[in-house]
């Protein structure tokens, strides 16, 4: 494969930090490179250097021939006076771009819900981001560099982008360099991973999963070596400790050996090993929806006769297209909104805590420092069966001693996000709602947050476009599809994407069905009956699954025979639900022909 881009002996230093120290990398045709690392370690800076938008202090970046490079930054610079069409395809005649399948794919995948003539200046931040991404992908480039392209994309948008990039070039052509915290996306698209850390770049083969495995093996080997070093250290210090004070000053070579072992100790990476926080006790009832209906002020139905039960310890992922009503559902759940009909019962012992998308809620504390603010709100915390001080727990969540004295106004987006979560956990809730919790967090901190959530014993509801996180920390997923129903997804996110794909087809075939129907009246009625039967079977299965979940939560945990029987029934029901869902989708497809 041909070499397209190279960077040799790149040095870059900011006033307070050495960003890169003599890095050398090469990029070949067919490379799909995911760039990972902690926030602030230089991932975006690396793209700026490789795209020649930032000059390093020393070293050089070389391109082969007249290389065409497309670069999406995190800041969208689009003329507000342009229409969406002008921003994406320019002023060229329609027949020039409308016949290009790549451009049509981009427009349908990213901008299908926007008015082509709408001015860019009237768009929201998320819509502007999609327009900027569409404008880049509509171009013809040898190398595409993307800095956080999944920001403001929902689950469907991320899946579309992954598919587009997989099919954009042949396997041995083109180059992709992408900085993203979306680990599912990295696995779906990349064949190489670069880790930016400590001024260096370490390459790994494969996507995110392969990178984690290789890094774990590297750390295991380092730990084995370190264990041998620590054994020597303990022997040296034990020898020094056994001697009389007057004697310890004499054998200088022994003291020097011990100090050298300590001096060579590498700085530890941020690790989050947090025992579960004490939570207020949850009773048997958490939140029950009984025949709940709700519509917005403009008459848009969000829920129609929905019955749903949340039990203690449930871990729920909530999916839905933008505007489907996910936030509304959360507000109904917490009592911020009241249903138009039906009943929502909230357990007496329930204590909600919601991590919102708005990091500006910390602005009122802009002049406060982290340590002082936390200490004012709470002085000790119960971790396991021990009480620990404020500073210790805050440091466990990734803030070092120096950062504890940082004013809130100076925190980065990722630090604010972590601090928001920290404050929520300090209130010791038993129902935790996370609304897009992955915003501004790097992959290491995401893994740390998942580790924390693994040990958190309360009820968890997560709304996120991060597919990896949803499948990692939740046990069941539900979807709002815009039809007023809350649908259980036994097959997870993939099933949601299948259901969403079927929806536009249904809309386009309605018009065709008016003029010509491929089904006879009897065939159509039979299919409609089968569809209704399968929907009833799925509803019944979901109700039984909820009942089993309650039984598992309240059963005697020493009654292994009962627990095994319930678990087997739960697996069987999940399998049946998946089969019925597949048959139901097939029936819908036949009705739409």
pLDDT tens sequence across 139-183:
999 999 999 999 888 899 999 999 999 999 999 999 999 999 999
CB 58 within 8 A of CB 11: yes
Does 177 lie in the same domain as 64?
Answer: yes
Q: For 249-268, what is the mean pLDDT?
A: 45
* pLDDT for the residue numbered 571: 79
Q: How far is CA 293 from CA 271, 319, 343, 441, 546, in A?
A: 45, 19, 9, 36, 20
pLDDT more than 90, % of the chain:
34
Does 425 lie in the same domain as 549?
Answer: no
Final residue of a domain: which of 429, 464, 488?
Answer: 488
Does 502 lie in the same domain as 483?
Answer: no
Residue range of the domain that includes 531: 497-592
Q: Does any domain span residue 61?
A: yes
Does 534 lie in the same domain as 440?
Answer: no
Does 501 lie in the same domain as 482?
Answer: no
CB atoms inside a 10 Å sphere around CB 488: 21
Q: Does any domain span residue 281?
A: no
Whole-number average pLDDT of the chain: 80
Does 100 lie in the same domain as 57?
Answer: yes
Final residue of a domain: which of 172, 192, 212?
Answer: 212
Q: For 436-446, what is the mean pLDDT?
A: 79
CB 369 within 8 A of CB 407: yes
290 pLDDT more than 50: yes
Final residue of a domain: which of 434, 458, 488?
Answer: 488
CB atoms inside a 10 Å sphere around CB 439: 18
Q: Does any domain span residue 271?
A: no
* pLDDT for the residue numbered 525: 73
| Domain containing residue 343: CATH number | 3.40.50.300
Does 511 lie in the same domain as 407?
Answer: no
Q: Does any domain span residue 439?
A: yes
125 pLDDT more than 70: yes
113 pLDDT more than 50: yes
The DSSP annotation for 469-490 comes to HHHHH-SEEEEE-SSS-EEE-T
Strand order in the sheet with 431-435: 352-355, 431-435, 459-463, 315-320, 476-480, 486-488
Report DSSP state, residue 169.
Answer: S
Count of domains observed in the chain:
4
371 pLDDT more than 50: yes
User: Is the C-alpha dihedral spanning 344, 347, 353, 355 positive or negative?
Assistant: negative
166/179 Cα distance (integer angstroms): 16
In the chain the first and final C-alpha atoms are separated, in Å, by 46
198 pLDDT more than 60: yes
Q: How many helices (H) and strands (E) in the chain?
A: 19, 20
Residues 536-569 pLDDT 10s: 888 888 888 888 877 877 777 777 778 778 878 8
Q: Does any domain span residue 411?
A: yes
* pLDDT for the residue numbered 404: 74
CB atoms inside a 10 Å sphere around CB 97: 17
Q: Does any domain span residue 120?
A: yes
Does 334 lie in the same domain as 193?
Answer: no
Residues 383-424 pLDDT 10s: 545 665 666 656 656 777 777 777 888 777 677 777 888 788
Does 297 lie in the same domain as 182?
Answer: no
79/120 Cα distance (integer angstroms): 7
Q: How far is CA 130 from CA 78, 99, 111, 440, 441, in A?
A: 11, 22, 7, 18, 21
Residues 304-353 pLDDT 10s: 999 999 988 889 999 988 778 898 999 999 999 999 999 999 998 899 98
Does 258 lie in the same domain as 333?
Answer: no
Q: Does any domain span residue 293?
A: yes
* pLDDT for the residue numbered 175: 96
- Return the CA Rg of the chain: 28
Q: Does any domain span residue 275?
A: no
Does 398 lie in the same domain as 532?
Answer: no
Higher pLDDT: 252 or 395? It is 395
CA angle 339, 343, 348 (to 5 degrees): 110
Residues 20-76 pLDDT 10s: 999 999 999 999 999 999 887 899 999 999 999 999 999 999 999 889 999 999 888
Does 334 lie in the same domain as 475?
Answer: yes
């Amino acid at each position: 494969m041909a070499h397209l881009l190279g960077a040799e002996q790149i040095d870059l230093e900011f006033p307070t930090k050495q960003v890169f120290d003599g890095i050398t990398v090469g990029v070949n045709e067919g490379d799909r490179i995911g760039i990972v690392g902690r926030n602030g370690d230089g991932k975006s800076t690396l793209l700026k250097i490789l795209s020649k938008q930032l000059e390093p202090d020393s070293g050089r970046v070389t391109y082969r021939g007249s290389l065409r490079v497309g670069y999406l930054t995190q800041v969208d610079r689009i003329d507000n006076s342009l229409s969406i069409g002008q921003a994406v395809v320019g002023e060229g005649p329609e027949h020039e771009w409308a016949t290009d399948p790549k451009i049509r794919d981009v427009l349908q995948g990213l901008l299908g819900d926007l008015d082509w003539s709408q001015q860019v200046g009237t768009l929201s931040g998320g819509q502007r981001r999609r327009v900027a991404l569409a404008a880049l992908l509509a171009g013809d480039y040898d190398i595409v560099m993307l800095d956080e392209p999944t920001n403001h994309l929902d689950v469907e948008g991320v899946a579309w982008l992954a598919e587009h990039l997989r099919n954009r070039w042949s396997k041995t052509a083109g180059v992709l360099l992408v900085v993203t915290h979306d680990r599912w996306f990295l696995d779906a698209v990349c064949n190489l991973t670069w880790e930016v850390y400590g001024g260096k770049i370490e390459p790994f083969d494969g996507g995110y999963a392969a990178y984690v495995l290789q890094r774990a093996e590297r750390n295991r080997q380092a730990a084995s070596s370190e264990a041998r070093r620590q054994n020597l250290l303990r022997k040296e210090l034990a020898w020094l400790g056994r001697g009389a004070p007057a004697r310890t000053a004499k054998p200088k070579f022994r003291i020097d050996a011990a100090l050298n072992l300590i001096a060579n100790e590498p700085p530890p990476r941020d690790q989050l090993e947090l025992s579960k926080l004490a939570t207020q006790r949850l009773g048997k009832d958490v939140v029950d929806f009984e025949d709940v209906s709700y519509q917005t002020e403009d008459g848009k139905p969000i829920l129609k006769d929905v019955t749903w039960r949340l039990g203690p310890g449930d871990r729920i992922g909530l999916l839905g297209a933008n505007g489907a009503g996910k936030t509304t559902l959360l507000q109904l759940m917490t009592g911020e909104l009241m249903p138009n009909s039906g009943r929502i019962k909230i357990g007496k012992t329930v204590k909600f805590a919601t991590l919102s998308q708005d990091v500006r809620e910390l602005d009122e504390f802009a002049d406060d420092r982290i340590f002082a603010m936390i200490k004012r709100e709470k002085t000790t915390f119960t971790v396991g069966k021990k009480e620990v001080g404020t500073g210790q727990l805050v440091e466990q969540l990734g803030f070092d001693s120096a950062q504890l004295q940082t004013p809130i106004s100076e925190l980065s987006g990722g630090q604010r996000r972590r601090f928001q979560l920290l404050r929520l956990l300090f209130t010791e809730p038993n129902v935790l709602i996370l609304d897009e919790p992955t915003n501004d967090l790097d992959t290491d901190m995401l893994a740390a947050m998942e580790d924390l959530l693994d040990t958190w014993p309360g009820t968890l509801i997560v709304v996120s476009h991060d597919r990896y996180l949803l499948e990692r920390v939740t046990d069941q997923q539900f979807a709002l599809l815009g039809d007023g129903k809350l649908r259980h997804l036994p097959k997870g996110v993939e099933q949601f994407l299948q259901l969403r794909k079927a929806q536009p087809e249904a809309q386009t075939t309605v018009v065709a069905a008016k003029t010509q129907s491929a089904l006879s009246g009897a065939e159509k009625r039979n299919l409609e009956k089968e569809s209704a039967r399968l929907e009833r079977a799925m509803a019944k299965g979901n109700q039984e699954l909820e009942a089993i979940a309650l039984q598992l939560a309240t059963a005697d945990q020493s009654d292994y025979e009962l627990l095994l029987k319930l678990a087997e029934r739960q697996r069987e029901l999940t399998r049946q639900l998946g089969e019925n869902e597949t048959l139901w989708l097939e029936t819908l497809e036949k009705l739409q022909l």
